[in-house]
A = this chain, B = another copy of it.
Amino acid sequence: MVKASESRYHQCIYFSSNALARKIEKLAMESWKKLGLAPSHAYLLMLVLEEPGVQPGYAAEELQLSPSTVTRLLEKLEEKKLVVRTTEGKLTNIYPTPKAKELYPQMKNCTREFQEKYQSLINEEEASRLVKSINRINDQLP
């Protein structure tokens, strides 16, 4: 693999940001694999575990995903019997199943493992600066 800093597009945030996201995604996938969950599924499920009854729209905001993506993720989590949705009028509430509750401690472990994994690869201080900087810029973007 050509180093990012050697690619002809190294100065372009389009490539840098995409490449970073894909690499981090892959790292996260490794950590969550043992539970058979993709990172996005896992984080959504953790949100549901931490706030039972949470609504899809709120989850979408928290996870910075579109509502439709959250619907799709929920379909998968429901198939796996990890959440149930109850609809009252126009509102939907999402609840974790007992199976999901049992999984929670292992999920916390995966989170920790992921943090450890990427902090072993990246200088911790630089990583933390980077995240702050990315967040600041995310807030400036539409």
Contacts and interface: CB of A to CB of B under 8 A. Distances in A.
Contacts of A135: 4-5, 10, 16
Q: Give the copy number.
A: 2
A13 B141 contact: no
A43 B123 CA distance: 31
Contacts of A127: 13, 137
Contact of A64 (B18, B131, B133): B18
Interface string A19-32: 11111111110000
Contacts of A8: 47, 62
Contact of A133 (B1, B18, B22, B133): B133
Contacts of A26: 142
B134 A121 contact: no
Interface of A: 1-5, 7-28, 39, 43, 47, 61-64, 114, 118, 121-123, 126-127, 129-131, 133-142
